[in-house]
Homo-oligomer: A and B are copies of this chain.
């Protein structure tokens, strides 16, 4: 890297999962919008042709006037070639294919278990984690060998176990996990300010928050805006919209869009616990007992959120593949600018170009009380030159802590099961999941079937 006043050039970034037809394009657009940074992106993907396509698409940006950030994109045929000498590593992969995801999400429906996402916890999240852990073992070993000093940013789910695996295999890794779910809650609070007080268009960054919990089951115990505590306002807001729900973006109404919600679960959790649940309702629902929000499709409808089925994802991918072709052919160009993610501003802060406080997933080193050290938690942290320092976020209220710790220990069990190919331990965790509300016999059948469906990613297991 070459440092100049307020800019850094010759940055090297390895993008693992660089064939992505989504996140990668957002990142490319963000980088093109950022004139203080420039360098090389090495795209690595197990689907090398996808990485090749993105190499073409990314380099096209240099022909776009608005693209002030200049980057060279290169397809890296191996992990080693992507990593050697790199300054940053971005990991954003799909662990397995839609075939496995389909099993994760829909096989449990046979036993009356519905999942709104299926990638974090719940039966789907558990099995996805078992499939992902060996991939992250490989990645962690490669980083240890080829790029031990690089900063590593993870976007893949299950976030907690991805980051946890990286640190387990390579304890000195400089890795953290980024997730935009908390931002959505800041946006909701901004909307509440507008709705209740007429204060409009407050940028989410101006909503000050204290973040604590684990990824996708994150909480805010302090929210304020310019010198006033917003908890009372949020309380009124949740009361006002408790029954009707509140739709943040009318263009993506939950009734048409399985990726959104009317925030009723958020309101219900606030009513009961007095602190703000800070993730999308689809994620929050999956961390709670199955009888609460995901009992059946009618209940889901009543709580005004959606079950994301995998077929919609397949359709979506189809569209993105078509777009990929257009982008390669310069029939269309990537959008320059803010994807809503914070990755670039984090990279800038790590390069010393301005401090930043934001929420991030890191091993617990004291930021959260009553959660074991080393478990990955999500709290605010200060990003500065070559350092990410979590703040002391404190402790969750007892009833919330009970809900969270249940998953913390389940995730620890899954980690151990994944690292040691221990089927009994994996099932013990699986059966403990709050969404696994079926009988133990059924739980075992379901587990075996789901494990079988993902077995090609489970080398060393006895399935």
Contact = CB atoms under 8 A, between A and B. Distances in A.
Interface string A283-327: 000000101100100010000000000000000000000000000
A99 interface: no
A402 B406 contact: yes
Interface stretch (A77-85, A131-139, A156-164, A421-429): A421-429
A279 to B, nearest CB: 19
A403 B432 contact: yes
A453 interface: no
Nearest to A428: B399
Contacts of A208: 355, 384-385
A389 B389 contact: no
Q: How many copies does the complex hold?
A: 4
Nearest to A226: B352
A391 interface: yes
Contacts of A172: none
Nearest to A357: B382
Contacts of A402: 405-410, 413, 432
B272 A428 contact: yes
Given A8-B227, A413-B402, A365 B384 contact: no
B389 A391 contact: yes
A357 B381 CA distance: 12
A62 B228 CA distance: 30
A76 to B, nearest CB: 26
A292 B224 contact: no
Interface string A378-412: 00101011110111111001110111011111101
A367 interface: yes
Contacts of A251: none
A412 B386 contact: no
In this complex, the interface size class of chain A, counting residues with CB under 8 Å from chain B, is 35 or more
A392 B409 contact: no
A432 to B, nearest CB: 5
B370 A369 contact: no
Contacts of A410: 398-399, 402
Contacts of A399: 409-410, 413, 425, 428-429, 432
Contacts of A407: 402
A196 interface: no
Contact of A385 (B226, B289, B434): B226
Interface of A: 3, 8, 208, 210, 222, 224, 226-229, 268, 272-274, 289, 291-292, 295, 299, 351-353, 355, 357, 365-370, 372, 380, 382, 384-387, 389-394, 397-399, 401-403, 405-410, 412-413, 416, 424-425, 427-429, 431-432, 434, 437-440
16 contacts: A3-B228, A208-B384, A210-B387, A227-B353, A291-B440, A366-B368, A366-B369, A380-B382, A382-B391, A389-B393, A390-B391, A398-B412, A398-B429, A402-B407, A402-B409, A402-B432
Given A222-B387, A289-B437, A365-B392, 10 more contacts: A208-B385, A228-B385, A273-B428, A291-B440, A365-B369, A389-B391, A389-B393, A390-B391, A392-B392, A402-B409
